[in-house]
Structure 1
Amino acid sequence: MSTPPLVLQPATLEDMPAITELFYAVFTDPGMRHLFPDTPGTHQWFTATNHTDMLTKPYQKYLKVIDPSTVDAQGRARIAAYAKWDLAMADERGPRFPPWHSDMPQHDCDTFFGKLESERKRVMGDRKHYYLDMLGTHPDYRCRGAGTMLVRWGCELADREGVLADPPESAEVSSMARGLENRG
């Protein structure tokens, strides 16, 4: 029996609660749970943050990969994976996150995400580039090509527009992309 194909689509505002749940299903390591505790307040903050970004930051593109063979009670297909691509110029981006929720360790969040941003600036400088801000595939859908579809979307857009995609010199991004390509 063959596995039904997954489908890449733009994410919608209505998808944000499901994307929050997917985030917590994907990022279970102690470091991420320290930064994003699995509490109702942090879930609400994460959903609201992404919702607001979709409404106010048109340069941030949220994508989902769905499994059309699995639907919920409302008839919506299950989200197997999602990504957030940032297509802004570096000076257009502004802060990545709003103020942290009180359940989150504010100093640790500032330190961690500040280091990520300074490293991206160090590598990319002021060059126009598209940034893969977030990517997560539900454990039930790993090794089925969902991550590859999400990475490929941004890389193909960058190629068409003559822009860099993610920091090409970054070993973490390169190894992640190679791993996705190898798994299909």
Structure 2
Amino acid sequence: MTSSTDSNSPLRLDFATLDDLSEITELWYNAFTTPGLRAIWPDTPGVRQWWHAANQHDMLHKPREKYLKVVDTAQNGRIVAYAKWSLQTAEERGARWPAWHPDMDPVRNDAFLHQLETCRATLVGGGRPNFCRLKPDLDMLATHTAYRRMGAARLLLEWGCQAADEAGVPIYIDASQSGKPVYERLGFEDRSYLLGGDTGELAAMVRDPRKSSA
């Protein structure tokens, strides 16, 4: 699997591997710097190791959790963006994240996780084929600050959108407010207003499946 935004772009899409985990963790902390997310995942050596171990576990034991990366072929394959797509049912998948690290606030984090799952269930639940049954489900997407607006996120999103359209299922994503335009260009809609409250730094976005024009 290799693709690019255009023939002249040095950016290429591929599957991430265990060897990429340290670079992925570094990229996550570059991409997400808002006070709210740093309160959930503080930048400490212990929490960085928590991220590394969590992703390593899923790569090794959950083969339908797909880690994708976009690399800059002009910079020795530097990882400039990554995404985690889940192709599992909720029952297959189990807990979304492992037990919190001691450097984290478990009360805050449990409340945050509960909010995320409640939003998902409200917007794409109700018995229809959705994230609880059929996948894909976008778990994470991060782009290095030096590579934004260059098409990296689009490569990662198009992969999952195609899978969702083939399966006839919606995609849910908790998007950053700054990232909303990227998702909107691919058909995601901000449906936070349906939740009846403030969703804070994140926008609850849904993309309904598109029918093939063939």
Give the TM-score normalised by structure 2.
Answer: 0.74
Q: How far 1:89 moved relative to its partner?
A: 1.4
CA RMSD, Structure 1 to Structure 2 (Å): 2.3
After superposing on structure 2, the runs of 4+ consecutive aligned residues of structure 1 that deviate more than 3 Å are 172-176
Matched, 1:132 2:138: yes
Distance (Å, rounded) in 2 between the aligned partners of 1:138 and 1:149 = 14
* Count of aligned residue pairs for this structure pair: 172
Contact 1:53 1:60 in 2 (8 A): yes
Distance (Å, rounded) in 2 between the aligned partners of 1:36 and 1:180 = 28
Q: Equivalent of 1:38, from 35, 43, 50?
A: 43
- Residues 66-89 of structure 1: CA deviation (Å, up to 9, x unaligned): 001112xxxxx1101000001111
Distance (Å, rounded) in 2 between the aligned partners of 1:11 and 1:58 = 12
Judging by fraction of residues, say which structure has more helix: 1
> How has the CA–CA distance of structure 1 residues 180 and 146 changed in structure 2, closer, same or farther, with 3 Å as cutoff?
farther
Q: Equivalent of 2:61, from 53, 56, 63?
A: 56
User: What is the correspondence of 1:29-178 to structure 2 with a 5 Å cutoff?
Assistant: 29-71=34-76, 77-125=77-125, 126=127, 127=129, 128-160=134-166, 162-167=167-172, 176-178=182-184
Q: How far 1:117 moved relative to its partner?
A: 1.1
Q: How far 1:138 moved relative to its partner?
A: 0.1
**SS at 2:43 equivalent:** coil
Query: Which structure 2 segments of 5+ residues have no match?
Result: 1-7, 188-214
For 1:6, give the aligned amino acid. Answer: L
Give the TM-score normalised by structure 1.
Answer: 0.85
Q: How far 1:179 moved relative to its partner?
A: 5.1
Kindly indicate whether structure 1 or structure 2 has the higher relative contact order, using CA contacts under 8 Å at least 6 residues apart. 1
